Amino acid sequence: MTDFTATRAAFHLPEGMIYLDGNSLGPLPKAVAARVAQTVTAEWGDHLITGWNACGWMDMPARLGDRIGRLIGAEPGHVVVGDTLSIKVFQALAAALKLNPDRRVILSDTGNFPSDLYMAEGLISLLGPDYELRLVAPEEVETSITDDIAVTLITEVDYRTGRKHDMAALTAKAHANGVVTIWDLAHSAGALPVDLAGAKADFAVGCTYKYLNGGPGAPAFIYVSPRHADMALPALSGWLGHDSPFAFDLDYTPGAGIARMRVGTPPIVQMAALDAALDAWDDVDMADLRARSIELSDRFIAGVEATCPDLILASPRDATQRGSQVSFRFADGYAAMQALIAHKVIGDFRAPDIMRFGFTPLYLNEQDIDAAIEILANIMRDRLWDTPEFKQRKAVT
């Protein structure tokens, strides 16, 4: 049984703050500061260029990849860390389309995170106008998987509503129709059990600054199934994905398997932070995590619905259909969220009217949930959000 009191103690949580935004940026694991200081001062400072070998820097993308791989059901040796999620989406999509060369349609849904769609647009701008990005409503994805689709590009958990796709079922239907699948795990990795190998997923990508707590701008990851890893071409063919980077050949020869999905020089300081953050996961059972996440989320929904009649649940009521977040619709949601943040309950807002709350069992407990509900209830009851200050939107939220 996972000890969530112990995992909570591993995080720096500012006094008096209730942090329900770990689905956007996870809080600081206490182990990170010392590890980053060591990487900067002892490793970079004293080893300089020799750190690439002496301090294991060169191996970090694959080593961290395997640490994350364990949490998402990947086969060992099939995940690498690097770049940003947008870049990894591009790389997966370019490779997946090449594996299905006779088809031209990328299927995605309107609940996907926009950057995934933008990267698909950008790729199509290079490939030519016979390629198509076909967008359907999230509920229509399953029926839209037909034998003219080349690739599905689907985020498992909707960033706004928390609605969760059925990865195993959609992947099976995709394969029955000759479609290659890409799963974006931005709101899945560290949020709920993922079984990439069991679902026979083809590609997966994700970020590490949300539920994995790697810090602001922590690097992304990419998974390529063993079935494709030696055939998939990265398109973003950088020197660290070369079969022999230090031979400095003039021609590109892709490295073996997932290694080819590396691109440029990895961000070592940021990776050190992530490495330390991943320690918090060592003794976590993902089934326990899921059970606890549902407990906390259901408790929040019940409490908010009992006290805030103006907030309309935007997430599926059935917990098995959700990720690890809960969203409510409210026309003045932006102002309400600003008021909530002013009262030190941190969630976030997503246009047009979504108030979003993340439930992260590693560091949240029942007391947090109950206190957040009470503060939110006060704000709604007394219309504390209804001030010019809170209603004025900033450029960035």
* 148/170 Cα distance (integer angstroms): 15
Starting at the earlier edge strand, list the strands of the sheet with 220-224. 79-82, 220-224, 203-206, 180-184, 149-155, 105-109, 132-136
- 73 vs 353, beta carbon nearer a copy of itself: 353
Two structure tokens written together for 105: 């349609």
Backbone angles phi, psi at 191, to 5 degrees: -105, -30
Say which amino acid occupies 98.
K
- 125 vs 365, beta carbon nearer a copy of itself: 125
Binding positions for a copy of itself, 118-177, rule CB under 8 A:
118-119, 121-123, 125-128, 135
Binding positions for a copy of itself, 80-99, rule CB under 8 A:
83-87, 90, 94, 98
Applying CB under 8 A, which part among 28-36, 164-172, 173-181, 190-198 lies near a copy of itself? 28-36
Cβ-count burial of 96 within 10 angstroms (0-12 exposed, 13-18 middle, 19+ buried)?
buried
Which residue is associated with the tokens 């071409």? 233
* 333/58 Cα distance (integer angstroms): 46
Binding positions for a copy of itself, 95-124, rule CB under 8 A:
98, 110, 113-115, 117-119, 121-123
Distance of CA 187 to the CA centre of its chain: 4
- 159 vs 223, beta carbon nearer a copy of itself: 159
Q: Which of 11, 113, 159, 203 is catalytic?
A: 113
* 123/97 Cα distance (integer angstroms): 10
Binding positions for a copy of itself, 190-229, rule CB under 8 A:
207, 209, 215-220
Applying CB under 8 A, which part among 17-25, 137-145, 223-231, 368-376 lies near a copy of itself? 17-25
Compose the 317-336 pattern: x for residues touching a copy of itself by CB under 8 A, - for all others. --------------------
Q: Which of 83, 109, 158, 184 is catalytic?
A: 184
Instruction: State yes or no: residue 392 binds a copy of itself (CB under 8 A).
Output: no
**What is the closest distance, in whole angstroms, from the C-beta atom of residue 44 to a copy of itself in the complex?**
5
**What is the closest distance, in whole angstroms, from the C-beta atom of residue 195 to a copy of itself in the complex?**
26
| DSSP alpha helix (H) spans, the chain | 4-9, 31-37, 45-47, 51-54, 60-71, 85-99, 114-127, 141-144, 167-176, 196-199, 268-278, 286-307, 333-342, 366-381, 388-391
Instruction: State yes or no: residue 10 binds a copy of itself (CB under 8 A).
Output: no
Instruction: State yes or no: residue 51 binds a copy of itself (CB under 8 A).
Output: yes
Binding-site residues for pyridoxal 5'-phosphate: 85-86, 113-116, 155, 184, 187, 209, 239, 265
Which amino acids are annotated catalytic? 113, 184, 209-210, 356
